[in-house]
Amino acid sequence: MAGIAFDQRDGLIWYNGEFVPWADAKVHVLTHGLHYASCVFEGVRAYGGEIFRLEDHTERLIKSGEMLGFTIPYSAEQLNEAQGDILRRQNLVDGYLRPVAWRGSEMMGVSAQSNSINVAIAAWEWPSYFDPAERLRGIRLDHAIYRRPDPATAPSKAKAAGLYMICTLSKHAAEAKGYADALMLDWRGHVAETTGANVFFVKDGVIHTPTPDCFLAGITRDTVIGLARKRGIEVVERTILPEELDDFEQCFLTGTAAEVTPVSEIGEHRFEVGEITQQLMNDYLAEVQPKPSAQPLAAAG
């Protein structure tokens, strides 16, 4: 279904507890989430019929809503079950899921105390976030035009829609110059992340990654750190300054959509797709595959 607009696809979407035809999963133009970004979401992947780290994603979705001042009106168990159900009903074995929760249209204005909280879950096939050929040789990053904000100015630990506006603008600016993505600094000028993934660097066999004090400590990030340490590779979480980029030999990104993606350059800085990066790419792909004891979700007939 590549190239088909997302509002014109086929199938079902779980919407406020019911399965509705894809084309009917709509919101009103005066929905608060559209005007004031009172919306949180998750990106989740399924491999071989099993949803990877489903409980962790659902827990983060619920906590993100709480950070925006609302309670999602479904339990974690209900949301987990709904994600498994929509994956089956969409006949997906390998797929991407997008749970999203937002304030409705009962009130229009900055205050929305009486607005209902809506929840939807969609699932579709999404094999790779970046171009597969470019990904293998390492994607190219530009320097982002915006920075991650001070946590005192925004709920930076929430996976909230409004926090991605500067990511879209930065990614568009990078793509206009021929890059795949952009590296963002934080408000202090420290290396933070890209527009949609966490970043890692390698020097002398040691992995370095920014301390996630103003951006999401991704679930894939956590998985990859665990895989690296299992192999005896030291992982250091610390402040990384832009002037250090020339000192690193390898660079890679992690994210649910990006998985483990090598980086070949960031602006004027160059990196190799080295052994540690390649090893973690393979280890991650092995980690996300259903284990022999797991029971894959059966496709709907």
Per-residue pLDDT tens listing for the chain (301 residues): 557 899 999 999 999 999 999 999 999 999 999 999 999 999 999 999 999 999 999 999 999 999 999 999 999 999 999 999 999 999 999 999 999 999 999 999 999 999 999 999 999 998 766 766 677 789 999 999 999 999 999 999 999 999 999 999 999 999 999 999 999 999 999 999 999 999 999 999 999 999 999 999 999 999 999 999 999 999 999 999 999 999 999 999 999 999 999 999 999 999 999 999 999 999 999 999 988 764 555 444 3
Q: Which residues touch 133 (CB under 8 Å, ≥6 apart)?
A: none
Active site residues: 159
Q: Which CATH number fits domain 8-124: 3.30.470.10, 3.40.50.300, 3.40.720.10, 3.90.1150.10?
A: 3.30.470.10
Q: Which residues touch 14 (CB under 8 Å, ≥6 apart)?
A: 82, 83, 85, 86, 120, 121, 122
∠ CA 222-214-53 to the nearest 5 degrees? Answer: 25
Task: Return residue ranges of the chain for CATH 3.30.470.10.
Answer: 8-124
Give, in order, the Cα–Cα distances in Å from 78 to each of 41, 72, 131.
16, 11, 35
Q: What is the largest CA-CA distance in the chain?
A: 57
pLDDT at 2: 58
pLDDT at 300: 44
132-288, CATH topology level: D-amino Acid Aminotransferase; Chain A, domain 2 (3.20.10)
Long-range contacts of 243-247 (CB under 8 A, 24+ apart): 244/191, 244/201, 245/191, 245/201, 245/269, 247/203
pLDDT at 299: 44
Reported pTM: 0.92
Task: Return residue ranges of the chain for CATH 3.20.10.10.
Answer: 132-288
∠ CA 231-234-150 to the nearest 5 degrees? Answer: 125
